[in-house]
Amino acid sequence: MRIVGFGTRVLNFLIDTAIIFIIAYILKKVWDWYVIFYQYTPYNFGEIFAPVLVIYYFLFELIFTRTPGKWLTGSKVKNKTGGRPVFWQFIVRSIIRLTIIDAFFIPFLEMPLHDYLSKTRVVEA
């Protein structure tokens, strides 16, 4: 079980964030149409982006143990013993990503906060 490097993690983040941004942007435009024609409650982009981010990471990692970014870089999520993470670990990973301080723990823990708290690692596939 070989843990991926910082550069791979950054590439995963950039790819997945671009995909999440596109999905959230499309959903925002569709929702704005409903706001105009049916007087639904308007939401700002962040209120759409955050749930899309959590759902995206949760579903991809729960079903495949990897996101599209991880597929492209040849990495996947494993627990500390090298097995498949359990349900709660995927929930923790997904929700902690919403915090601003997630990446600030890398210099101290040598991993993001979502890996540390969920007791998971991103390893080469």
- Residue 8 tokens read as 């791979």
Task: For residue 21, count other CB atoms closer than 10 A to its CB.
Answer: 14
Residue 103 in this model has a pLDDT that exceeds 90: no
**Whose structure tokens read 């991926």?**
4
Q: Which candidate, 59, 66, 67, places its Cα nearest to that of 18? A: 67
Q: What are phi and psi of 85, to 5 degrees?
A: -65, 155
Share of the chain above pLDDT 70, in %: 100
Averaged pLDDT for residues 63-90: 97
What angle, 0 to 180 degrees and rounded to 10, lies between the N-to-C axes of helices 45-64 and 87-96? Answer: 150
Domain boundaries, the chain: 6-124
Average pLDDT over residues 15-21: 98
Q: What are phi and psi of 69, to 5 degrees?
A: -65, -40
Q: Reply yes or no on whether the pLDDT at 56 is more than 90.
A: yes
- Can you give the pLDDT at residue 31? 97
